[in-house]
Every structure is written in structure tokens, then in C-alpha cells.
Amino acid sequence: MENADESYLQKWFRGLDIENAFKLSFETVDSSFRSIYDNWDDFSNGKPPLDLLKVWFRGMDVNRDHEVNIDEMKGFLCSLDKSMTVIGVAKEIRKIDRDGNSNGTINFYEFANHYGYKVKKNQDVWEGKGKSKCCLLL
Ligand SMILES: [Ca+2]
Ligand SMILES: [Ca+2]
């Protein structure tokens, strides 16, 4: 994360700002830091706790449609590493995109699964505040 920039923080903020209100409560920020602190060993060993994966996923899902596409993934990975290429991003997506249809986007089920968590397929990381899921079936 040496060359992470402030856009990483913006994504973190977006991931916490479920209401899309551009402000966060103290409790939200506090619980986010607490979760990192309490799970520091797992976190630094590449297995973040599930609640942080949700924040991370929401931070990537810019248009709040419950799927992370290649542009969204690129925006996220490039905020961590400026040298990340489109091919590198595509490889990352391919590694995680395992829902059987390899549809080129990542849903939270696939994302959580990548980190060893089993969650419900239709789990709503936006807690009803994202875009309607109905349209994903079209
Ligand atoms: Ca999206
Ligand atoms: Ca997929």
C-alpha cells in the first residue's frame, strides 16, 4: 500500500456510507476501526473479517448495483497501486468471478467466498439502500 492515495480513503468512506449521505456517524467510523484493530492479525494476513469485506465491497461498487465490474475494480486496485494494469485487473476479477457463469463481474457471494466465507447468494451488502436488485435479472 506504499503508493495508496486519498482515493482509497474515499472508497472506504463510500463503503461505510450506506445511506449515500456523504457523512458518517461517529459509531460507524468507530466500529470500522475497532473491527480492524480487533482482527488485526487476520487482517494483516489477508483474511479481513466479514464486516470489513462488506465495507470494502461497497467501496468498490460505485454504482451500488451489487456487482463489481472491471471499471470499478480497476478504480479500486489503482487507488492502492498506481502500476496496476487492465490485464492485472482482469486477472483479479477472473480469480474471484466463480459463481458458475463467469459473468465478468463480482458479486458479494463470490467476493466473500474468495476470502473463505460462506454467505447467502442473495445477501444484500447495501442493506436495502443500493439499487433495486430486480434489474439484475434482466
Ligand atoms: Ca457496480
Ligand atoms: Ca460473477
Ligand 2 centroid from CA 122, angstroms? 12
Q: Which ligand is nearest to the CA of 136?
A: 1
Q: Taking 50 as the threshold, does the pLDDT of residue 1 lie above it?
A: no
Q: What is the mean pLDDT of residues 70-92?
A: 91
Q: Taking 70 as the threshold, does the pLDDT of residue 4 lie above it?
A: no
**CA gap 17, 4 in Å, rounded:** 21
* Inter-residue contact 133 to 122 (CB < 8 Å): yes
How many other CB atoms are there within 10 angstroms of residue 6's CB atom? Answer: 8
- For ligand 2, a single-atom ion, which residues have Cβ within 5 Å? 97, 99, 103
Q: How confident is the model at residue 134 (pLDDT cuts 50, 70, 90)?
A: low
What pLDDT, on the 0 to 100 scale, is given for residue 71? 94
CATH: 3.90.120.10, 1.10.238.10, 3.30.200.20, 1.20.950.20. Which one for 6-120? Answer: 1.10.238.10
What pLDDT, on the 0 to 100 scale, is given for residue 28? 95
Compute the C-alpha angle 37/43/48, nearest 5°: 110
What percent of the chain has pLDDT above 70? 92
- Report phi then psi at 134, rounded to 5: -55, -35
What percent of the chain has pLDDT above 90? 72
**CA gap 60, 81 in Å, rounded:** 15
Q: What is the mean pLDDT of residues 83-99?
A: 93
Q: Which ligand is nearest to the CA of 100?
A: 2
